[in-house]
Structure 1
């Protein structure tokens, strides 16, 4: 979604929120008509095509052309089957361990009791996953005509993080999405929304093909339907929370929400980054990652760490990127006492322990194996990247002994030293970069990060400078300063940087959106790099056997135009087949974006037939070709 599309979407949703509040009946009518329009258009096109074929058939029957008439009969059948197949919903079922009543009788009995109270349909299949999450999925057996098959997914980490009653609240929330006690209309829209999204993915852009009528329609319809139903689906989340309160109690619903928010931040910011950091040294992923996670969840977090992640979660605000409300809004909606909100104590017995007993670690072992197999490919890429980084660092170390490095080479050497060796060894190298170029934004940020993470207040001045120089570094720098001051017990300073980071976050997203798109119509300019920097980039690009030519240009940007944004446009060697050395475009782009000795803000694109006009535009820019 472009910046303009996002702004139009948010404006429309805000207006619809007002309509839903002040005129709920009118809002429901509009949503209903819009939902019916999707069905009506498909039926219209289907009947139109059959009408054309039938008209031609009638003409040929009158002309006594039996052979052509039979061909048109066959064509009508093929068109019908083609449209049926096109709109057949074959929902992809997420992976997980199937559970049965024999191994978890009490769990199934609990789910059955809750489903009965909520008048929700029974769950046809229940799966255990390795996620800190739970969810229901309805897969229509008859596509657009419905007849839902219901799946319930339960994350073993989620069950290990919650008490029995807290987990009961989560189950009630998920089954509440299917509840017959509440709005059938909301549940219908909730299901239909997923169906239209899945269909829209089949027609991402209008193109010249046999199904251009559907492509054109869904290109317009899907975003519009998304906006119109956004308000209703968010209201459905609040309604599901109320189901949790009704069946498990206010305290348990609130404690479950708080616990999951805390552990979600912990996993995202701490646990999984630590696990994946091992890829720098080990060719294979650990065999017990999920077991480690479950053990950590059983122990719980320290009061200070739990309070830190809770503070982060409470600071997050509801936005228009996700239908789920933020933690603070959810707690407010159910009437929970917000003053003060404390992290819950780890349960004496977790829901996972209660329902699975001795089978818990058997399930963990199976999920360990599944996780290891699932991440094996991405883990290997991380390991190979680390090995390439080691080779790059060795080459830069050797070159530094022979001659002076460019600023970008000095910066890359410091970064790689920080990543592959102990971070403190990179301090002197980053300081050398700043002696040559004091306003180097990433060097100020990375040096400040190392110092702050060692609880050295000297890092503050470097992060402050990074904030002043580069708007894209405001959010990560504020995160670091927030953590530092919070650990120091300086709440006022911590809140200042927390608020500053939040204020810049929306702008940061706009910057990312603007710089993620390029076409032949995008204004491009000469790169304006020094001959020395171009030379060192050319030398490095020459080490990639896949590259035939490389171009470098600057892209005109609206947000912070004083901060240059570069495009590396690559022409690949012609390769026949897909031998052992063949690499996908994604792999080549990933390597270049991670390995180039270049600290400027940039992206890499591959020039090919699909963007031939863009290549023509780039080639016309003076000095754009930096390697051939």
Structure 2
């Protein structure tokens, strides 16, 4: 996916905000034209396709001589190829939402609620209700005819959310989602909101479709979709506030606020607490002790959450500020817009799942329990074996002096102690490891996180090192920022945010370099150690279809020490699908590092020639 950096995105949003504040009518007109541009491109391609098809048919029917001439000169091949590219450009598959398709007869009370909301709002029709296992609710549109539209509307309800919220709170959440489909309230904002989702889905579909036509279209949408998303951000944010207002009108401001506060605080806390404890059973037991969702339902009925925990969680959420990375405003801003003061939420033992699904609730719970077990039992057993072996090793390490442990064993001792003993005991071991290996990114992450979680600002020094890693930056970014905000250090928080933003930009650019090969890439003779080269060759020669192979290195600007290699191969014998062979070679390479596998077919021939000319022949 083409990268639009956070900095560029924010600049575009701020520009749009300025234009909207200066002249809202002019902004709306420009946004409308920008929205229609995407449709115009699709319509143009469709008309070109129809024109080529119509012209070809007319020539065949009314000018046989010209048609024969087109065949003889092979011009017809170019026309048919152009038509094929256009067809592939317009025909991409969109995957519909996954989950349990709920029928009206299974949950008449739930559908009665939906009918009531739709009637009051005059919203678009919901064609299917899907239950999944998320702690969320959403509406989405699935284009039946691909980029040509004819939307099918889905309401997606998370079963965990139904188990956690009361019927009144759940009605408020669903009313918010229906607000995005409403034909009564701010039609223009709703239209723009839905187009944002449509273009994002179209861009994703094109990027995951392998054809010339899709590649051509993806280039346009890679330019268009991020810019439209940024320019329409103002209206999308406004749409969220309007959906909250609709929710408050259909229930009450108090109920809408309770739903938001519960969702941000109690629901997320209880969900995290239960699943963390449930998954931790895998460290002790080879099989789950009970069905997961049945256990979650029972847990919600018996668990009493302390007020001080709720208060702390609420304050954490209220301290988070609205930002440009999400159209959803912060909890604090949403409560202000509803004109409701923050308050401790009241958790209801009567949940929407029991009330709305009635007799079907038990059947659906069993369905999701069975699905979860089937999908996770192998991972559960692997985790049990891993934990069992780690605990045995911890016992062995604890009987030795730290100085006698190798760096590798000391790291394992620290990491496994963090996993299976306590963060306190692991902290001293991470410190010992970092003393031997100053500024080790992994060690500084655990040390810094421990200090910060215990209110020690000294942890920032360590996390400043850990954020250099793309694996830690997202968590560290927010952890330190929220810590500084909570301690009234706005200036330092802003500085930290900007620094992390810059680092993240570099990481994204580095990732972009490593995501694909381009004709403009520079290739050099590979620098590779003998052990890795031997490993690569050993894996390649196992495939009897490889005749020759050349190894090259792609020159990268960011993190050049993390090398990127390209292997070009020539096949032998009968190969029915070079694409499948290419994938098989990549799947069976089994080496550490970034490697691209290419052949001389499709659009890879120029790259193949470069690698063959500059690279090292290894087979």
Normalised by the length of structure 1, the TM-score is 0.72
Q: What is the aligned length?
A: 578
CA distance in structure 2 between the aligned counterparts of 1:414 and 1:477, rounded to whole angstroms: 20
Native 8 Å contact 1:287 1:372 kept in 2: no
1:466 is the counterpart of 2:452: no
1:344, CA displacement in angstroms? 0.5
Native 8 Å contact 1:553 1:618 kept in 2: no
Match of 2:595 in 1: 606
1:116–1:417 CA distance, 2 compared to 1 (3 A): same
1:516 is the counterpart of 2:507: no
1:493–1:407 CA distance, 2 compared to 1 (3 A): farther
Native 8 Å contact 1:569 1:605 kept in 2: yes
Match of 2:26 in 1: 26
CA distance in structure 2 between the aligned counterparts of 1:311 and 1:121, rounded to whole angstroms: 37
Match of 1:302 in 2: 306
1:99 is the counterpart of 2:102: yes
Native 8 Å contact 2:448 2:458 kept in 1: yes
1:167, CA displacement in angstroms? 1.5
Match of 1:328 in 2: 332
Match of 1:64 in 2: 65
Structure 2 residue matching 1:330: 3-state secondary structure: helix
Match of 2:547 in 1: none
Structure 1 residue matching 2:139: 3-state secondary structure: strand
1:178 is the counterpart of 2:181: yes
1:21–1:379 CA distance, 2 compared to 1 (3 A): farther
Structure 1 residue matching 2:513: 3-state secondary structure: coil
1:267–1:619 CA distance, 2 compared to 1 (3 A): farther
1:128 is the counterpart of 2:126: no
Native 8 Å contact 1:393 1:417 kept in 2: no
CA distance in structure 2 between the aligned counterparts of 1:367 and 1:65, rounded to whole angstroms: 64
CA distance in structure 2 between the aligned counterparts of 1:396 and 1:613, rounded to whole angstroms: 55
Native 8 Å contact 1:479 1:501 kept in 2: no
CA distance in structure 2 between the aligned counterparts of 1:74 and 1:614, rounded to whole angstroms: 30
1:289, CA displacement in angstroms? 2.4
Structure 1 residue matching 2:169: 3-state secondary structure: helix
CA distance in structure 2 between the aligned counterparts of 1:66 and 1:617, rounded to whole angstroms: 44
CA distance in structure 1 between the aligned counterparts of 2:288 and 2:566, rounded to whole angstroms: 34
CA distance in structure 2 between the aligned counterparts of 1:360 and 1:207, rounded to whole angstroms: 42
What is the aligned counterpart of 1:240 among 238, 243, 248?
A: 243
CA distance in structure 2 between the aligned counterparts of 1:255 and 1:587, rounded to whole angstroms: 53
CA deviations on 1:259-290 (whole Å, 9 max, x unpaired) are 11124643786544544455556666675223
1:301–1:506 CA distance, 2 compared to 1 (3 A): farther
Match of 1:372 in 2: 373
Map 1:207-218 onto structure 2 (within 5 A).
Answer: 209=212, 213-218=216-221
1:362 is the counterpart of 2:363: yes
Match of 2:430 in 1: 430
CA distance in structure 2 between the aligned counterparts of 1:33 and 1:150, rounded to whole angstroms: 25
Match of 1:155 in 2: 158
Native 8 Å contact 1:121 1:179 kept in 2: yes
Instruction: Provide the aligned C-alpha RMSD in A.
Output: 5.5
CA distance in structure 1 between the aligned counterparts of 2:290 and 2:338, rounded to whole angstroms: 41
1:116, CA displacement in angstroms? 0.4
Match of 1:411 in 2: 411
Match of 1:353 in 2: 354
Q: Which runs of 5+ in 2 are unaligned?
A: 542-549, 599-603
Normalised by the length of structure 2, the TM-score is 0.73
1:353, CA displacement in angstroms? 2.7
1:617–1:310 CA distance, 2 compared to 1 (3 A): farther
What is the aligned counterpart of 2:191 among 182, 188, 192?
A: 188
